[in-house]
Structure 1
Amino acid sequence: MRIDQVYIEDYKNLKQFTINLDENKMKTVLLGQNASGKSNFIEALILIFKYLDLRTDTKRDTPNFDYNIVYKIQNHTVDVTHKNKTYTIFVNGEKQTLKSFFSDEAKAKYQPKYVFTYYSGLSNKLKELFWDHQNNFYNKIIGEDFKDAELDSLRKLFYVQLVHSYFVLLAYFTHEEEESLKFLNEVLSIEDIESILFVFKMPKWAESRIKNNPDDIFWTAKGLVRPFLEKLWELSLAPIYNDEKIRTDFAETEDQKRLYLYLKGKDKLQELAKTYTNNTALFKALESTYISKLIAEVRIKVKKKNVDGSITFKELSEGEQQLLTVLGLLRFTKDEDSLILLDEPDTHLNPIWKWRYLEFIDKVVDRPASTQIILNTHDPLVIGNLTKEEVRLFRTTADGKIIVEEPEVDPRGLGVEGILTSEFFGLPTTIDDFTQDKLDRRNDLLVKQQDNLLSEQELEELRVLFIELEDLGFGNTFRDPLYQKFIVAYKNRIKDQGKNSYTKAELDKQNALAMEILEELSKEEENDSYR
């Protein structure tokens, strides 16, 4: 699954918006200032594939904007145009009937298997885009006639939430893949699971049903969740029921009937996992308890390196939970022909993890040839190892239109400072104002020194500035006499301009002037070498 190009007529601030992606690259990172349309583009993609998947002969809801999208999947090129609530679709250049394209067989062939979305912040509006798929999934899994064989084809759109981090951690330790355990140990310092306490609550939907079956130990739960609960009960140590008053916010409480099922050690967890064919099936069974409103809490105790005793999973930092959640879900819900949308997934990560983030993703994705990852970030550390083909820059023009460009250079090799001061982020300098003022004052004094106009007081000031700036790492450049000549020439030509404004026009003017001076100095050096 690889998106080639998208056109959006009018969605939020995306007006007559066009983006071209390099379909030969697994990853594309979106850069741009706030409100430049990056998150809106991700939302638009979710809506496009949401309604393509939900469309049937009887259900014909469509997104509220017109668009065209071209993508490649399973060696097919799919071209979808949606205009005025009507679809026009071509596959490999041949027009498709809507009945044929939206059949179950064609959906499996021409649409992504999963659209997996993660957002590090809180967004109820984004979460709502997945409600239809979650509701369909729920209605299937609660039925008594639910069959495990149906599980893999249910719910193409998947929205990641904090609760999934608990399920992911459990899935890591069930089949104990070597690469997974290595990641937990080396990156997160997690050595082992010591215990798991599942806290279940009686959901609202069971209150009327339990009256007809008061002895049901799982409050009449059915479908996918029932065999999971039965196996968990069998393996747990001394199940406990308890009626509790639970605080729901600062002022309100509610009465809950709760069930505590405790697994001592990793062995019991692995025995539970043997009920399922793979970690993906186990993960979906775990998640079914959440969707069914049965799970109140999961308390996992883990053993960490260099920690005296165990800690609960909740005690891990937000960054640790965030990294584990995204990478774990990619590992356990991975499949070919998947579209992965990550909106600022690096928010809580430390600089080292930000720098290695895309490396971590590369190691997790088994099928890079049929997976596409679109990632939105504001951090220069994340893109340090990318080529320009893997980056798209979102800009807002003077008339308010959002445009997207491929950068002119690779971020790879620029270093963090180079990335920050390049077209990727456009900072005029990475130097703070206090230090910049010292540099400007030093340069002003150097110009006066060149003309033998320094007073004794200014000479001492210059000496002190050299010492202070050398301590900050700025002194070595002045061992190069050519650089000093450049500074003097540059300052002489801009001395009447006042303090730099750092607007784009001003920066372009300064760059042109700098190149002119360098060319002149180069010619002077060349002439001197002939004398």
Structure 2
Amino acid sequence: MKVDKLHIRSRFKNLNNISIDFDKDNLMTVIVGRNGSGKSNVLEALVAIFRNLDLGETPPFSYHLVYRLGQEPQEGHDNNYWQEITIDADPIRGTLAKQYDVTVIDLLESSPLDPQSKGKQVSFSKLKRDKEGNAPYLPKYVFAYYSGPSDRLERYFRKHRTDFYRHLLKDKLDLKGDIRPLFYAKPHHSQFVLLAFFLSDENSPQRAFLREHLGIEGLDSIHFVMRQPGWAKQKGELFWGARGVVRRFLDDLIKHTLSPVKVTRQEDSSLTGSNIHNEFFHLFLPNVDALLNFSKNLSDDELFKMLESTLLSEIISEVSIRVKVKSSKDPLTFRELSEGEQQLLTVLGLLKFTGGKDSLFLLDEPDTHLNPSWAAKYLKFLHEFVPNHKTSHLLMVTHHPLAIAELQKQQVQVMWRDDKHQVHSREPDENPRGMGINLILRSDMFGLKTTLDDDTNQKLLVRK
């Protein structure tokens, strides 16, 4: 999946009559600009667009979007086969079918697009996802991550999460392949990523990353706290009547735990101060061998999906992981890792376990808590963990100049507001690669007149 061009015609937040030209020839496009310039709104607009397309709903605003989907090479051809999809959408056109004008052009990687080609028209009924989960003209997956506390992106994913949960309860999911077409990563996913990484070989990129960049040498123990969910009808039953893949997961897990304990205790305190009691089940895996024995029939991505599914079923209350680290003779809990370490693990796991062919990754300031050393390596980390560069696209918003230091200018979009508060977007004047941090900060990408502190700069101006 490669996003090519997006023209937002009617207002979406502070975006109105703005065109963004993404780099369809590389894995990633990075958006920079000052606060309030609309960077995050671009990612949110794309989420809103693909959500409504997937669900067959009215377009959220008027827009013109061009993107490509990669296909397997056609018979008699060695090059990848692409479909270029153009969607012209406007919510004021009348019926839903008239609100969307969809054109599809078939092309080979080696053949330039014929500007005279009009392509074929596709009805909106064939564009949206059908009851069997098929959507041949949409990206296979849209994944998003936002480092801030706001739910500005998460709310767009709730319908897909709810539908996934319903299928989960009805045992209609195959975790060897199924995942939500729209997936929003949250902080708790970082612990699931960590456990899944320990299923991989000692020499795998995942384990090497844990050792070299997080200083994690091994797994000490895992403490699962399960809770009676609100939907439980069989109170007193071992896992409260859980069914399907979640039940199979829990039944396998308890076989490898050490002295499971079920207790009733206060869960929370309401706004009125009254106590809420619930039943909890403590399951303890004493070492990495217990995890490996429990997961011997699972791949790393299947373990990740099973943990996430159990969380969605409202049964997981807490996961406490202790790891062996280079910096301490005693094991540390996962929560003792820095915010930056946890954040990085969440994003890389999102790419590794939920990515694949025709995936769109939308990352909003994922490098917020990273030090300069990691920020400079951040795009390299992303390159290593995206499963399919050829047919995946990663769009990222950042304020960190080091994050773009190795990019060509066509991989960057600079956003700004003019004197009338109109938002604009364009490619920078020069390639960030080779400029160095000082020149990047003083370029049109960040717009600093000087990198000196204000007091020193004022003194130099006076001397002049």
What TM-score does the superposition give when structure 1 sets the normalisation length? 0.78
Distance 1:325 1:147 in 2: 24
Residue in structure 2 matched with residue 343 of structure 1 by the alignment: 364
Residue in structure 2 matched with residue 156 of structure 1 by the alignment: 181
Deviations 1:438-495 (A, max 9, x none): 323444xxxxxxxxxxxxxxxxxxxxxxxxxxxxxxxxxxxxxxxxxxxxxxxxxxxx
Q: Which secondary structure state, in structure 1, belongs to the residue aligned with residue 177 of structure 2?
A: helix
Equivalent in 157, 161, 172 of residue 134 of structure 1: 161
Judge conservation of contact 1:118–1:341 (CA < 8 Å) in 2. Answer: yes
Equivalent in 414, 417, 426 of residue 393 of structure 1: 414
Distance 2:274 2:45 in 1: 38
Specify every segment of 5 or more residues in structure 2 that has no aligned partner in the other structure, as ranges. Answer: 71-81, 106-118
Q: Which amino acid aligns with 1:77?
A: E
Distance 1:106 1:256 in 2: 37
Report how far residue 253 of structure 1 moved.
4.2
Report how far residue 82 of structure 1 moved.
1.4
Distance change (3 Å), C-alpha of 1:421 and 1:248 = farther
Residue in structure 2 matched with residue 7 of structure 1 by the alignment: 7
Q: Which secondary structure state, in structure 2, belongs to the residue aligned with residue 129 of structure 1?
A: helix
Report how far residue 236 of structure 1 moved.
0.8
Residue in structure 1 matched with residue 103 of structure 2 by the alignment: 90
| Aligned: 1:229 with 2:236 | no
Residue in structure 1 matched with residue 172 of structure 2 by the alignment: 146
Deviations 1:68-120 (A, max 9, x none): 21101021001112112521111111101233333648944321111110000
| Aligned: 1:66 with 2:62 | yes
Residue in structure 2 matched with residue 100 of structure 1 by the alignment: 126
Q: Which amino acid aligns with 1:148?
A: D
Q: Which secondary structure state, in structure 1, belongs to the residue aligned with residue 226 of structure 2?
A: strand
Q: Which secondary structure state, in structure 2, belongs to the residue aligned with residue 168 of structure 1?
A: helix
Report how far residue 331 of structure 1 moved.
1.1
Residue in structure 2 matched with residue 439 of structure 1 by the alignment: 460
Judge conservation of contact 2:196–2:303 (CA < 8 Å) in 1. Answer: yes
After superposition, residues 421-436 of structure 1 pair within 5 angstroms as: 421-436=442-457
Q: Which amino acid aligns with 1:311?
A: L
Residue in structure 1 matched with residue 30 of structure 2 by the alignment: 29
Residue in structure 1 matched with residue 199 of structure 2 by the alignment: 174
Report how far residue 295 of structure 1 moved.
0.9
Judge conservation of contact 1:28–1:391 (CA < 8 Å) in 2. Answer: yes
Report how far residue 198 of structure 1 moved.
0.5
Equivalent in 331, 356, 360 of residue 381 of structure 2: 360
Aligned-residue Cα RMSD (Å) equals: 1.8
Distance change (3 Å), C-alpha of 1:324 and 1:147 = closer
Distance 2:270 2:336 in 1: 21
Report how far residue 169 of structure 1 moved.
0.3
Judge conservation of contact 2:417–2:424 (CA < 8 Å) in 1. Answer: yes
Q: Which amino acid aligns with 1:37?
A: G
Report how far residue 233 of structure 1 moved.
0.8
Residue in structure 1 matched with residue 293 of structure 2 by the alignment: 271
Distance 1:380 1:360 in 2: 16
Q: Which has the higher helix share?
A: 1
Residue in structure 1 matched with residue 281 of structure 2 by the alignment: 259
Q: Which secondary structure state, in structure 2, belongs to the residue aligned with residue 430 of structure 1?
A: coil
Q: Which secondary structure state, in structure 2, belongs to the residue aligned with residue 302 of structure 1?
A: strand
Distance change (3 Å), C-alpha of 1:147 and 1:423 = closer
Q: Which secondary structure state, in structure 1, belongs to the residue aligned with residue 87 of structure 2?
A: strand
Deviations 1:282-314 (A, max 9, x none): 211100111111111000000000212100001
Aligned residues: percent identity?
Answer: 42
Residue in structure 2 matched with residue 80 of structure 1 by the alignment: 87
| Aligned: 1:383 with 2:404 | yes
Distance change (3 Å), C-alpha of 1:246 and 1:106 = closer
Q: Which secondary structure state, in structure 1, belongs to the residue aligned with residue 198 of structure 2?
A: helix
Residue in structure 2 matched with residue 524 of structure 1 by the alignment: none
Distance change (3 Å), C-alpha of 1:239 and 1:304 = same
Distance change (3 Å), C-alpha of 1:71 and 1:148 = same
| Aligned: 1:415 with 2:436 | yes
Distance 1:37 1:199 in 2: 41
Report how far residue 252 of structure 1 moved.
5.9
Deviations 1:217-259 (A, max 9, x none): 0001112211100100111111100111134579564212100
Judge conservation of contact 1:101–1:107 (CA < 8 Å) in 2. Answer: no
Q: Which amino acid aligns with 1:201?
A: R
Choose between structure 1 and 2 for higher RCO, CA contacts under 8 A separated by at least 6 residues. Answer: 2
Residue in structure 1 matched with residue 76 of structure 2 by the alignment: none
Judge conservation of contact 2:143–2:183 (CA < 8 Å) in 1. Answer: yes
| Aligned: 1:44 with 2:69 | no
Residue in structure 2 matched with residue 293 of structure 1 by the alignment: 314
Deviates more, 1:101-110 or 1:38-47: 101-110
Distance 1:397 1:437 in 2: 27
Distance 2:120 2:211 in 1: 51
Judge conservation of contact 1:27–1:372 (CA < 8 Å) in 2. Answer: yes
Distance 1:99 1:247 in 2: 46
Report how far residue 133 of structure 1 moved.
0.5
| Aligned: 1:325 with 2:326 | no
Report how far residue 45 of structure 1 moved.
0.4
Judge conservation of contact 1:53–1:107 (CA < 8 Å) in 2. Answer: no
Residue in structure 1 matched with residue 145 of structure 2 by the alignment: 118
Judge conservation of contact 2:52–2:59 (CA < 8 Å) in 1. Answer: yes
Judge conservation of contact 1:25–1:389 (CA < 8 Å) in 2. Answer: no
Distance change (3 Å), C-alpha of 1:248 and 1:66 = farther
